[in-house]
Structure 1
């Protein structure tokens, strides 16, 4: 059963751009890009289930997450949208496009391929569990706890966006970590649906990321035959590392579709 997702809606006219974050991200991570895009179009950023301010529920399968987003479009009266998804969110938008292609004007897939990946988040989950047990009261304490398992400061700062202060002044995780970990194999699996989505697609990949390699391009084009692939000088979080180049690529793609 689909759930009501929390979202940020800039308002505006025309076919909206719906933005979907990756694993352990949220709509809040996209606020600066939303401000940049909202001058030209309506933009909606979504908190997926077990993320951000959306409800915590069992199940992280791509059919379920796509159904949640589709229910949001129905609730907002949106017949068709451009869908942008990063990482796990990219698999969500691919799933929605395969399952309900008439609702999708175009896809923008950021640094993910429609393939299964190996498990690679053990240290991240351990760090988040350490914060849970450590009950930090300030950001410095939280970072020290995260650093016991995650060396990269940029990753720690990203993970810390999931912390909110409770009534006792303790920083707590707002994500559904139990639910995410319980269905982690589904997250690392392939998108839902079958066959190809034949509509317009832009794939943006990081040149310093291993998520969309040249070896994976045949599998990508099998599912997204019209995909245009562009490489940015960035790692996996390319929209955060190269926001101007990311914004420009998205703008150019959507402007071509409008011509």
Structure 2
């Protein structure tokens, strides 16, 4: 059985953090460090086909929730606070519904328990267009990606996944081939009857359209004790765009 790669910092009650699609644990390093300073043992986790975790042909929320279960058993964690962003939020939601006794509290960042139509095609097309074996720098990759994606911030986020496989050879940490084929899985919803009755905090960016006011009914159907808070001056990457407010809203919840 393969165990997810992680970076563990701090001491205290465990918090497990799951990144979003095409992300990696490093995206949450600054937030995780702050939680560690508040007296928690923070597990920054790479999900399958991402970061330094294993690559697999299988990619859906059922197997990602199972990965999290295996991770907690391996690390002897009977329960933990779980925080997930976007795709990681869907994994966290499903895991909490399947294993409620293992989740002390649930935090979901900018994703709702609903189906999302495929919307990553431009990103996938741009990444696949990069001549990965012919480039020798992140700058060259950025120039090729810019033909598909105008937003500098999004390109920088994606190109953090570039690394030197060996001298003179660049590669992506994520499994681009499988993620391209299974991209539609990211938009899938948790089961219609799945529910978790523990303390739950949903956070959304005020400039993001991922969670609307109309979604609150559906959220409450699955998570009866859910609270929804809005982070100002933030889009979908709310933890990176307004980390101060993200921490101000989440720390009281995890400490209470």
Work out whether residues 62 and 95 of structure 1, in 8 Å CA contact, stay in contact via their aligned partners in 2.
Answer: yes
TM-score with structure 1 setting the length: 0.94
Q: Could you tell which deviates more after superposition, 170-179 or 154-163?
A: 170-179
User: How far apart are 1:168 and its partner, in Å?
Assistant: 3.7
State the match for 1:129 in structure 2. 128
Per-residue Cα deviation, 1:198-250 (whole angstroms, up to 9, x for no partner): 00000000111010011211111111111110001110000000111111211
Work out whether residues 49 and 179 of structure 2, in 8 Å CA contact, stay in contact via their aligned partners in 1.
Answer: yes
State the match for 2:251 in structure 1. 251
State the match for 2:3 in structure 1. 4
SS at match of 1:159: helix
User: Are residues 99 and 37 of structure 1, via their aligned partners in 2, closer, same or farther at CA, if it must alter by over 3 Å?
Assistant: same
State the match for 1:201 in structure 2. 200
- Which whole-Å CA distance do the structure 2 matches of 1:154 and 1:251 have between them? 26
User: How far apart are 1:26 and its partner, in Å?
Assistant: 0.5
Give the 5 Å matches for 1:156-167.
156-167=155-166
Give the 5 Å matches for 1:117-156.
117-133=116-132, 135-156=134-155
User: Are residues 59 and 132 of structure 1, via their aligned partners in 2, closer, same or farther at CA, if it must alter by over 3 Å?
Assistant: farther
Q: RMSD in angstroms over aligned alpha carbons?
A: 1.4
SS at match of 2:111: coil
SS at match of 1:186: helix
- Which whole-Å CA distance do the structure 2 matches of 1:58 and 1:215 have between them? 35
User: How far apart are 1:102 and its partner, in Å?
Assistant: 0.4
State the match for 2:14 in structure 1. 16
State the match for 1:37 in structure 2. 35
Q: Could you tell which deviates more after superposition, 226-235 or 131-140?
A: 131-140
Per-residue Cα deviation, 1:168-198 (whole angstroms, up to 9, x for no partner): 4232111111111222222211025833110
Where does the alignment leave 5 or more consecutive residues of structure 2 unmatched? none
**2:24 equivalent to 1:26:** yes
- Which whole-Å CA distance do the structure 1 matches of 2:78 and 2:191 have between them? 21
User: Number of matched residues?
Assistant: 254
Where does the alignment leave 5 or more consecutive residues of structure 1 unmatched? none
Runs of 4+ residues deviating >6 angstroms: none
